[in-house]
Amino acid sequence: MSLPSPIWIYRMTHLANLPYLLKHGLVTRHSPVFSPDYLSIGENTLIQERAERQIPVPPHGLFSEYISFYFGHRSPMLYQIITGWEGVTKVRQEDIVYLVSSLQKLQQQNSVFVFTDGHAASRLTRFFTNWEDLSQVDWDVITSTDWKNTEDDPDRQRRKQAEVLIYQQVPIATIEFLLTYTTEKRQIVLDLVEQAGLTIPVRVSTKAYYDRL
Residue 156 labeled ligand binder: no
Q: Per-residue DSSP letters for 171-210?
A: -GGG--EEEESSHHHHHHHHHHHHHTT----EEE-GGGS-
How far, in Å, CA of 29 to CA of 140, rounded?
Answer: 33
Residue 180 labeled ligand binder: no
Q: Just list the catalytic residues.
A: 50, 163
Residue 1 labeled ligand binder: no
Q: Residue 162 in contact with residue 116, Cβ under 8 Å?
A: yes
Residue 11 labeled ligand binder: yes
**Taking the chain, what is the end-to-end CA distance rounded to the nearest angstrom?**
28
Q: For residue 113, list its beta bridge partners.
A: 166
Q: Please report, in range form, the residues annotated as the binding site.
A: 11-13, 50
